[in-house]
Amino acid sequence: MKPAELLAGLPVTAVVGAFPDGQEVTGITKDSREVGPGTIFFVTPSSRAFLADALARRPAVVVSEEPVPGEIPCLVLTANARLLLAQAAARLYGFPSRRMHVTGITGTNGKTTVSYLIESIVGAAGEKAGVIGTISYRYNGREMKGSNTTPESVEIQSLLAAMGKTGVRYAVMEVSSHALDQGRVECIDFDCAVFTNLTHDHLDYHGDFASYRQAKSLLFHRYLAQSAKETRWAVLNTDDPSAPFFVPAPSVRTATYSGKVGTDAYPVSVEETIDGIALGLSLRGRRMDVKTPLVGLFNVSNILAAALAGDACGFAPETVAAGISALKRVPGRLDRVETGRGFYVFVDYAHTPDALEKTIETLNRVRPGRLIVVFGCGGDRDRAKRPVMGRIAASLADFTIITSDNPRTEKPAAIIGEIRSGIAGGAFKTIEDRKEAIAEAIAMAGDKDVVLVAGKGHEDYQIVGKTALPFSDRAVIEESLRVAG
């Protein structure tokens, strides 16, 4: 496809110069490092700083919202470069979302677990699932680590196209508020959108809760609403007070779930232990029984969401139940580390006040001994949540060790100080080095105690300054267990 063909009919306001004659498009990008002959470079607010580097690599076409200095053979002007990038990406890769069932999941907590559950349901149906999410991008035996929960629009379209070529007919995406706000999922034709919950997070980016909620709602009010799919479903958690803001237009069907009777999916019976959950649920009036090693009553909500999403895919209740029961673990989500001893250790991604509180409350209900919590807060991120999380941990756990998370460019001691400012009582100590903090918690654990290492979950790195250093909570725990004998 030539540049003129790729951009024909899209919202271009002017073309300065001439499209290269006879040259095929070799790629489109907003990343200057990916520019080469035949590339179309898009100047967005985040890529403008790298314009000089991009021009030095001689792109075929430059797309911008305003004039660009220097001699450029072909400059395309547009009112919204991010929007045009997404539209061009969908066209370049042949609109792959139109040929598969696409489920998008948004909310503060639960997105990853719901994506794993839906993936397992699709597998139980004998189908292939492709997943784009926080832990990885994966399909048909291939797995890649991504830099973002939801990648840029070009990468999404490329992934969906690659999935389709390997026989994937069901795609599942975690959709972040950043991605929605920045239009990364433009031109994806969703079949189903799931709302899990909404609590305090990412206010450093969005500014206030109302703006955060507005960004999340775009999945329903813009992207699901404009999808070309004939049948579209919105799956909503009506236990969350923000649910009314996500109710879609009448042209989209709505399915609801709750911990209470009266919705399309709700629990009939729940038995919770430290080894998992035995759950009876009603799915559109039909009883289903599942057993899962996933720990925590909050996973009941995740299971209900996945069950309705599986139903929206057209799978039978027996298939949905089999898929839910088949999932053994979700990396970094109350993820048990076998100790071979008389105590329990869990790794969890909880890095928001709500997630940390729910995780601690869960373990408090099922723990046979003391609860020891290790956690920190990330640097260069929402500072308002730090004292809140300190108060939650110190007031709910038997003992808390405050440590580093991903300090980034902040001083770990300063972050720990802000966490401590919210603590009014309780037993706690501070150990700046995360490895030492984890080792201390393992050494403290006695028979029947529970250790929770929270904040990083599945991550296998720690960001110090601007460098990602190898670091895995699970690996450090396993090493600490070996050292402790």
DSSP class per residue in 143-209: EE--SSSS--HHHHHHHHHHHHHTT--EEEEE--HHHHHTTTTTT---SEEEE----S--HHHHSSH
Maximum CA extent, the chain? 75
Same domain flag for 308 and 216: yes
* pLDDT, tens digit (0-9, with 9 covering 90-100), for 220-243: 999 999 999 999 999 999 999 999
Same domain flag for 302 and 435: no
Q: How confident is the model at residue 201 (pLDDT cuts 50, 70, 90)?
A: low
Cα distances (Å, whole numbers) of residue 185 to 175, 299, 448 = 8, 27, 46
Range of the domain at 422: 335-484
Q: How confident is the model at residue 146 (pLDDT cuts 50, 70, 90)?
A: confident
Same domain flag for 168 and 226: yes
* CATH of residue 31: 3.40.1390.10
Would strands 335-337 and 286-292 be described as parallel, antiparallel, or unpaired? unpaired
Q: Tokens at residue 181, please?
A: 């706000």
Q: Give the span between the Cα atoms of 461 and 168, in whole angstroms.
A: 30
Same domain flag for 366 and 461: yes
Same domain flag for 354 and 476: yes
Same domain flag for 87 and 129: no
* pLDDT, tens digit (0-9, with 9 covering 90-100), for 83-128: 999 999 999 999 999 999 999 999 988 999 999 999 999 999 999 9
Number of domains in the chain: 3
Q: Which domain-ending residue is among 326, 343, 372?
A: 326
Q: Which domain-ending residue is among 287, 303, 326?
A: 326
Q: Give the span between the Cα atoms of 222 and 295, in whole angstroms.
A: 35
Q: How confident is the model at residue 273 (pLDDT cuts 50, 70, 90)?
A: very high
Same domain flag for 100 and 128: yes
Same domain flag for 172 and 286: yes
Q: How confident is the model at residue 213 (pLDDT cuts 50, 70, 90)?
A: very high
Same domain flag for 77 and 104: no
* pLDDT, tens digit (0-9, with 9 covering 90-100), for 36-75: 999 999 999 999 999 999 999 999 999 999 999 888 889 9
The pTM for the full model equals 0.89
Same domain flag for 114 and 224: yes
Same domain flag for 316 and 367: no
Neighbour tally for 178: CB within 10 Å:
15
Q: Give the span between the Cα atoms of 430 and 477, in whole angstroms.
A: 18
* CATH of residue 290: 3.40.1190.10
* Average pLDDT, integer, range 407-420: 98
Q: How confident is the model at residue 204 (pLDDT cuts 50, 70, 90)?
A: low
Q: Give the span between the Cα atoms of 393 and 415, in whole angstroms.
A: 15
247, containing H or E segment: none
Same domain flag for 177 and 30: no
* CATH of residue 390: 3.90.190.20
Q: Which domain-ending residue is among 91, 108, 136?
A: 91
